[in-house]
A = this chain, B = another copy of it.
Amino acid sequence: MAAALALSERGRGRTAPNPNVGCVIVRDGIVVGRGWTQPGGRPHAEAMALAEAGAQAPGATIFVTLEPCAHRSARGPACADLLIGARPARVIAAIEDPDPRTAGEGFARLRAAGIAVETGLLADEARRAMAGFLMRRAHGRPFVTLKLATSLDGRIALADGSSRWITGDAARAHVHLERSRHEAILVGRGTWEADAPRLDVRLPGLEGRSPRRILLSSRHHSPSGGDDGECIGGMDAISTLSGVDHLFVEGGAETAASFLRADLVDRLLLYRAPILIGAGKAALGDIGLTHLADAHGRWRMEDARMLGSDRFEAYLRQRN
């Protein structure tokens, strides 16, 4: 299942509105098929893995990160039916599909066909891997990641606005990799005007994976300068961004604070350089905190490492 989850990450940010599923087929201890949801959402992970497994699928064990879909679509058959046709011995799924057209029906159909079904393996990890799809299903909005790149004292720029560079090459490359895992990047007006042309993915081989660029601005108008970005007038409008299940918020301080104030940030990426800036631009404006005790228990460290001499930390918002 861990291998299937790793495969599912390949689709993150490219499969909306479909989930980025991963699938591994094992026969006699050997991996005979691997699949992940393809860009645009089709083929599904199971179809890709079954195509690779071919004649070795009967009797095999199929690991899949999400319940196989039970609904036919104009773009392809239901994965539950595909699986039944391939006659595996067992299907092990991490979590159930919240899509009401499936929601247990996929498992029921497999069991009715005499295939053993188990669920719950690495379920928490699967929820993290498909957080965008699940957030969209549960709350009708994208999963939001906020990026902050700061000095040790929490500054994102000098008082004159200069911010090139705070972090080093490795940290900036990591930011580009994170961008490639999101359907869209959102920034406020100041960052747009300073940086819009740079909000892309500049990593060898991933240049084609630059996300859509969204400008958040209360003054409704099109982005200037012949730019092909989109504009939304308020944070609530992120739910209307079709095909965006993962949204990357990159700044500035007021935009970041607005998202935090509305409790719309699900994941926080911190890149901290070993420098001090002193008086300068703070990472965040007012996030609506009035009691220090309320600040605790909201963020749990998910990942941490050094990127060159910079420190990277990822935090997940803890909600009950």
Cβ A278 vs Cβ B287 within 8 A: yes
Question: A153-B150, A270-B152, A282-B154 are known contacts. Are A275 and B298 too (CB-CB below 8 A)?
Answer: yes
Cβ A301 vs Cβ B292 within 8 A: no
Q: Please tell me the size bucket of the interface on A.
A: 35 or more
- Oligomer copy total: 2
Cβ B152 vs Cβ A299 within 8 A: yes
Mark out the residues of chain A between 142 and 171 whose CB falls within 8 Å of any chain B CB in the assembled complex.
Answer: 148, 150-155, 158, 162-166
| A 284-316 binary contact with B (CB < 8 Å = 1; else 0) | 111111111001101111000000010101010
Mark out the residues of chain A between 49 and 90 whose CB falls within 8 Å of any chain B CB in the assembled complex.
Answer: none
For A163, A164, A282, the residue with the greatest tally of chain B CB atoms inside 10 Å of its CB is A282
A166 in complex: contacting residue of B278, B279, B292, CB < 8 Å: B292
A289 in complex: contacting residue of B158, B282, B291, B309, CB < 8 Å: B158
Interface residue? A48 (CB, 8 A): no
Report A255 CB to chain B, min CB distance, Å.
13
Residues of B within 8 A of A153 (CB): 148, 150, 154, 282-284
Cβ A279 vs Cβ B275 within 8 A: no
What separation, in Å, do the CA atoms of A164 and B295 have in the docked complex?
Answer: 12
Cβ A276 vs Cβ B282 within 8 A: no
Report A241 CB to chain B, min CB distance, Å.
25
Cβ A284 vs Cβ B274 within 8 A: no
For A164, A165, A270, A296, the residue with the greatest tally of chain B CB atoms inside 10 Å of its CB is A296
What separation, in Å, do the CA atoms of A68 and B186 have in the docked complex?
Answer: 64
Question: A283-B154, A285-B278 are known contacts. Are A309 and B298 too (CB-CB below 8 A)?
Answer: no
Report A106 CB to chain B, min CB distance, Å.
38
What separation, in Å, do the CA atoms of A301 and B275 have in the docked complex?
Answer: 11
Can you give 8 contacting A-B residue pairs, CB < 8 Å? Answer: A148-B153, A151-B295, A152-B270, A152-B315, A275-B298, A275-B299, A276-B299, A277-B292
Please give the residue numbers on chain A whose beta carbons come within 8 Å of chain B beta carbons, in ascending order. 148, 150-155, 158, 162-166, 257, 260-261, 268, 270, 273-280, 282-292, 295-296, 298-301, 309, 311, 313, 315
